[in-house]
Structure 1
Amino acid sequence: MLLKAWKNACDATGVQKIVIPPGNYLTGGLELSGPCKSSIFIRLDGNLLGTGDLNAYKKNWIEIENVENLSINGHGTIDGQGALVWNKNDCQHSYNCKILPNSLVLDFVTNAQIRGITLANSKFFHLNIFASKNVLIDKVTVTAPGNSPNTDGIHIERSAGMSITDARIGTGDDCISIGQGNDGVDVARVRCGPGHGMSVGSLGRYAGEGDVTRVHVRDVVFTGTHNDVRIKTWENSPIKSSAAHMLFENLLMEDVRNPIIIDQMYCPYYNCEHKYVSGVTLQDIQFKNIKGTTTTPVAVMLRCGVPCQGLVLQDVDLTYMGQGGTSAKCENATAKYVG
Structure 2
Amino acid sequence: MAFISNVAVKAAGVAALLVVAVVSPAARAAAVAVAGGAPSVPAGPLDIAQLGAKGDGKSDSTPMILKAWKNACEATGVQKIVIPPGNYLTGGLELKGPCKSSIIIRLDGNLLGTGDLSAYQRNWIEIENVENLSINGHGTIDGQGALVWSKNQCQHSYNCKILPNSLVLDFVTNVQIRGITLLNSKFFHLNIFECKNVLIDKVTVKAPGDSPNTDGIHIGDSSNVTISSTTIGVGDDCISIGPGSKMIRIHGVKCGPGHGISVGSLGRYKDEKDVEDVQVTGCTIAGTTNGLRIKSYEDSKSSLKASKFLYEGITMDNVSYPIIIDQKYCPNNICVKSGASKVAVNDVVFKNIHGTSNTPEAITLNCANNLPCQGVQLVNVDIKYNGSGNKTMAVCKNAIGKSIGLAKELACI
Tell me the equivalent position of 2:403: 337
- State how far apart, in whole Å, the 2-side matches of 1:164 and 1:101 are: 23
| Counterpart for residue 385 of structure 2 | 320
Which residue, out of 91, 104, 114, partners 2:177?
Answer: 114
Name whichever of 58-67 and 317-326 sits farther off.
317-326
- In structure 1, the partner of 2:335 is 272
Deviation at 1:188, TM superposition (A): 0.2
Letter in 1 for 2:233: G
Moved over 3 A (4+): none
Number of residue pairs aligned between Structure 1 and Structure 2: 339
Percent of pairs with identical residues? 67
Deviation, structure 1 residue 92: 1.3
Choose the corresponding residue for 1:151, options 200, 214, 219. Answer: 214
1:335, distance to aligned residue in structure 2 (A): 2.1
| CA–CA separation in structure 2 for the residues paired with 1:225 and 1:47 | 28
Q: 1:128 matched to which residue of 2?
A: 191
Greater displacement, 30-39 / 265-274 = 265-274
> Which entry has the higher C-alpha Rg, 1 or 2?
2
Query: CA shift at 1:267, angstroms?
Result: 1.2
Residue aligning to 2:32: none
Matched residues in 2 for 1:271 and 1:32: separation? Answer: 36
Aligned-partner Cα distance in 2 for 1:277–1:74: 48
Given that residues 264 and 277 in structure 1 are in contact (C-alpha distance below 8 angstroms), is that contact kept between their aligned partners in structure 2? no
The separation in 2 between residues aligned to 1:264 and 1:114, in whole angstroms, is 33
Q: Which amino acid aligns with 1:318?
A: I
Alpha-carbon distance between aligned partners in 2 of 1:270 and 1:107, rounded to the nearest angstrom: 32
Q: Which amino acid aligns with 2:400?
A: T
Once the two structures are TM-superposed, the CA of residue 271 in structure 1 deviates from its matched residue by 4.1
8 Å CA contact 2:299–2:335 kept in 1: the answer is: no
> Is 1:201 aligned with 2:264?
yes
Unaligned regions of 5+ residues in structure 2, if any?
1-63, 406-413
Find 1:310's aligned residue among 375, 385, 392: 375
> Which residue number corresponds to residue 56 of structure 2?
none
* Contact 1:265/1:277 (8 A) holds in 2: no
Gaps of 5+ in 1: none
Please tell me whether residue 87 in structure 1 is matched to residue 153 in structure 2.
no
Task: Give per-residue Cα distances to partners, 1:73-129, cap 9 Å, x unaligned.
Answer: 000000000001101111111021111000000000000000000000000000000
Give the TM-score normalised by structure 2. 0.81
Aligned to 2:27: none
Q: Residues 181-230 of structure 1, C-alpha deviation per residue, up to 9 Å, x if partnerless?
A: 01100000010000011100000000011000000000000110111100
Aligned to 1:50: 113
Q: Distance in 2 between matches of 1:110 and 1:272?
A: 36
Give the number of the structure whose residues are more often strand, by fraction: 1
How large is the Cα RMSD of the aligned pairs? 0.7
TM-score, normalising length: structure 1 = 0.99
- For the 8 Å contact 1:173–1:196, the answer to whether it is kept is yes
Per-residue CA distance 1:36-76 (angstroms, 9 max, x = gap): 00000010000000000110000000000100000000000
- Residue 277 (structure 1) shift: 2.4
SS for the counterpart of 2:208 is: coil
Counterpart for residue 8 of structure 1: 71
SS in 2 for 1:98: coil
